[in-house]
Amino acid sequence: MSKLVDSVAAFVRPVVERNGCELWDIEYVSEGGQWHLRVYIDKVGGVSLDDCERISREIDPILDEKDPIPDSYIFEVSSAGLERPLRLPAHFQRFIGENAEVKLYAPLDGSKCYTGMLAAYDNGSVTLDRGGNLMKFTKAQIAGVRLRLV
């Protein structure tokens, strides 16, 4: 994670956890010329709109006070979603045995996208079980990994 994201996570995590949720991820990205700070949360049984609104209202004044981002941005709190991206080692470990999609930077055997059961994660490398055929992708090959509903 970046220093900015780590800094925001330090004061956001207690708010999220106090509200019975888990901090899944934070991203600070530019889209259409506007910066967005997104806090993704998760909860057993699913995240509700009320969860997102309550947590957003609690975090907003803290962001104003701490002012970790000098430029203007849009702040959002959202569910991690059913087809959530997997970025951290804990994300991968939690979802071993679930269906996932691996997108690659460059084609491998004519494709840049592979789906299968997440069989293993090791220091950035991901192994998918594609009907008994294990495919291992290195960290350098992987553009992104997300859960996949079947």
Note if the pTM is more than 0.95.
no
Domain that holds residue 112: 89-147
CATH for 72:
3.30.300.70
**Residue 116 domain-assigned?**
yes
Radius of gyration from C-alpha coordinates of the chain: 17
Please give the average per-residue pLDDT across 127-147, as a whole number.
97
Q: Are residues 70 and 100 in the same domain?
A: no
What is the structure's pLDDT at 2? Answer: 82
Please give the average per-residue pLDDT across 17-46, as a whole number.
95
Q: Are residues 69 and 133 in the same domain?
A: no
Q: pLDDT tens digit string along 32-63?
A: 999 999 999 999 999 999 999 999 999 999 99
Q: Are residues 101 and 62 in the same domain?
A: no
Q: Are residues 55 and 100 in the same domain?
A: no
Of 79, 99, 115, which residue sits at a domain end?
79
Q: Are residues 22 and 72 in the same domain?
A: yes
Burial of residue 80 (CB within 10 Å: 0-12, 13-18, 19+) is buried
Structural domain count, the chain: 2
